[in-house]
């Protein structure tokens, strides 16, 4: 879920509320989430560990997970020798259409103008 959406499936303002969402299995898929990935996540995010995909597999290779349609085309015997794919972040409306690149003129960190704006903010009224 997180590798595709960029966010964890269970999110809340604190750990207790996050845990409550886990217990209630309260999560949503963002628009554009691939259907095979959605099916895989739904079969793995199951509270009863004995009912999760792969739970009843013999041995340690989790054949039922490997055979899931999400992993179609994966050569499991040679996966360690394969070149990893380009990572494209999930950006609604375009993440599956083009490769993400950072513009050349951007530099990491904050410039003087951004720092001044931060210093001038009244953080005592923030609702973080």
Tens digits of residue pLDDT in 72-125: 999 999 998 988 878 776 666 554 555 556 677 767 777 788 777 777 766 555
pLDDT at position 90, please?
63
DSSP character string of 13-53:
SSHHHHHHHHHHT---PPTT--HHHHHHHHHH--SSGGGST
Report, as an integer, the average pLDDT of 49-68: 94
**Which tokens belong to 23?**
């217990």
Instruction: Write down how long the chain is.
Output: 128
User: Using 50, 70 and 90 to split pLDDT, how confident is the model at 19?
Assistant: very high
The CATH classification number of 2-102 equals 1.10.510.10
Burial of 15-33, coded b for 16+ CB within 10 Å and e otherwise, reads eeeeeeeeeeeebebeeeb
* pTM, to two decimals: 0.63
């Amino acid at each position: 879920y997180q590798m595709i959406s960029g966010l964890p499936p269970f999110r809340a303002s604190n750990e207790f509320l996050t845990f409550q969402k886990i217990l209630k299995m309260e999560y949503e898929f963002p628009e554009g989430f691939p259907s095979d990935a959605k099916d895989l996540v739904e079969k793995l995010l199951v509270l009863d560990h004995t009912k999760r995909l792969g739970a009843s597999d013999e041995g340690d290779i989790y054949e039922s997970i490997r055979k899931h349609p999400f992993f179609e085309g994966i050569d499991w015997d040679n996966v360690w020798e394969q070149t990893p794919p380009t990572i494209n972040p999930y950006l609604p409306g375009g993440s599956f259409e083009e490769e993400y690149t950072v513009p050349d003129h951007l530099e990491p960190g904050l410039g003087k103008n951004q720092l001044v704006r931060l210093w001038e903010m009244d953080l005592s009224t923030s609702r973080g």
